Structure 1
Amino acid sequence: MELLLVGIGTGAPGHVTLEAVRALREAALVLVPRKGEGKEDLAHLRHAILRDAGAEAKVVEFDYPVRDPALPYQERVARWHDAIADRWIDAIARACDGAGAPDGPVALLVWGDPGLYDSTLRIARRLSPAPKVRVIPGVTALQALTSAHAIPFNSVNGAVQVTTGRRLRDHGWPEGASTVIVMLDGECSFQALDVPGLQIWWGAYLGMPEQILDHGPLPEAGPRIVARRAEARAAHGWIMDTYLLRVGDGF
């Protein structure tokens, strides 16, 4: 079986590359996750991308499993990945009526890029027999964020570190970094930082009509971002956001 992992950007239909369109047209089957009540937009967007691409593949939806918060973090994630792989296998079997692999590639539409803080490649390694995996890169949240704010990704000759909210909370500002970009942060971990002159550039729903941006000195912009993030999540039922931290004006 060939498995296509297709990066679809961060919500803007224009993020879908011509290579991604060709891959979606090749697919015989597309798996679309349902991520729970209030998050239907994420499935609807994937269906819209398939329509715009002219894909004629059979589409099968599957429900995402829930992580067990009682488990230690690493075990919790590993078991969650195992459960997702099982859902993929079940969805493929349902699509084929028990007849084995589909007559052509199986595709998954991956938010952002399959290679950056996304677990789809790790989940694919759990399938047996191992599929042939082809990755189609997508626009990342990092690219979408810096483009939306019209700032460069790095300062001149400066080191960039991409990290998670969990690591920022646990370890603070990374040594030697002049720019830090934070992903997967549901707790606004920038609130724990005390770095003089630190500025923040934040964005949610990047590329979508609902896009929200804010930036400024962290002591001033931080409380605004916390409030706006909470309001947006309550309004939409979900949120995807990221932010960049840098000492200086962004350049």
Structure 2
Amino acid sequence: MQDLWLVGIGTGNPAHVTLEAVEALRNATLILVPRKGAGKEDLADLRHDILARIGVSAAVIEFDMPVRDENLPYVLRVNRWHDQIAAIWARTIAEARPEGGPVALLVWGDPGLYDSTLRIASRLDPRPRIRVVPGITALQALTAAHAIAFNTVNGAVTVTTGRRLRDHGWPIGAETVIVMLDGECSFQRLNPAGLHIWWGGFLGMRQQVLESGPLAEATPRILKARAEARERHGWIMDTYLLRRDTVKG
């Protein structure tokens, strides 16, 4: 049975890589690094930079990520994409390490939070023996960057996607809403009255950019900062926290 180690590496700052992650990467025999296409070379380069800082003896092999078929319905599109990625993993592992040995993937953030690596790994046949090494998440990096608490006293927190915020509005019963994976800045669809936002792009990295304030006032600043950062780097990873102004604590 193949050992597959999914190693959380945080949000791009090499200092966020834990000692457990360092040990795992040093003990792996093969490390896979995804290439995500033109304009996103930084994502592979950052992984290589982390590996260089750690000092690994494993073979490091890059693979090209497939492109999702935007013509398919969303769920089917994602499932097909995951099937394709799993097939690429299987082929790359078989070609590079036919005798076995631990294979590691460097996972942005944490493998268990708003990441599909575990779902992709479950598609491999035979299914590997999976080890997860946790990493610092964008949620932690966001609240740390703004020096705010994740939750209020006895308050409910909802972590969701931009798609769900856009389609269903403010989650019922939530005082704090944290939004991941939102390329359309769906907070623009909300009634801004009484809402405060804390936003961050490239969290934990040297190019980190932050904005916060009452939603009505902060929205144009966020849109401008996000557009400029994406134009400058060719890509952006960002997240944000929304909270009702009336909530204390």
| Correspondent of 1:166 among 142, 151, 163 | 163
| Correspondent of 1:113 among 95, 110, 113 | 110
1:128 corresponds to 2:129: no
237-246 or 44-53: which moved more? 44-53
SS of corresponding position for 2:69 = coil
Which runs of structure 2 are paired with 1:33-182 in the superposition (5 Å)?
A: 33-96=34-97, 100-102=98-100, 104-182=101-179
Residue type at the aligned position of 1:40: E
CA contact (8 A) 1:151 1:250 kept: no
CA contact (8 A) 1:92 1:101 kept: no
Q: In structure 2, what is the equivalent of residue 233 of structure 1?
A: 230
Q: In structure 1, what is the equivalent of residue 31 of structure 2?
A: 30
SS of corresponding position for 1:209 = coil
Note the alpha carbon deviations across 1:17-68, whole angstroms, 9 max, x for none.
Answer: 0000000011000000000011111111111111112211100100000000
CA distance in 2 between counterparts of 1:63 and 1:250 reads: 47
Residue type at the aligned position of 2:218: A
Deviation at 1:195?
Answer: 4.7
SS of corresponding position for 1:239 = coil
SS of corresponding position for 2:95 = helix
1:246 corresponds to 2:243: yes
CA contact (8 A) 1:145 1:202 kept: yes
CA distance in 1 between counterparts of 2:9 and 2:237 reads: 14
Deviation at 1:250?
Answer: 7.6
CA distance in 2 between counterparts of 1:166 and 1:223 reads: 20
Over the matched positions of the two proteins, sequence identity in percent amounts to: 70
CA contact (8 A) 2:178 2:241 kept: yes
CA distance in 2 between counterparts of 1:94 and 1:78 reads: 25
Structure 2: state its 5+ residue gaps: none
SS of corresponding position for 1:245 = strand
CA distance in 1 between counterparts of 2:26 and 2:199 reads: 35
CA contact (8 A) 2:192 2:216 kept: no
| Correspondent of 2:207 among 210, 222, 228 | 210
Structure 1: state its 5+ residue gaps: none
Residue type at the aligned position of 1:27: A
CA distance in 2 between counterparts of 1:223 and 1:116 reads: 29
SS of corresponding position for 2:144 = helix
CA contact (8 A) 1:152 1:250 kept: no
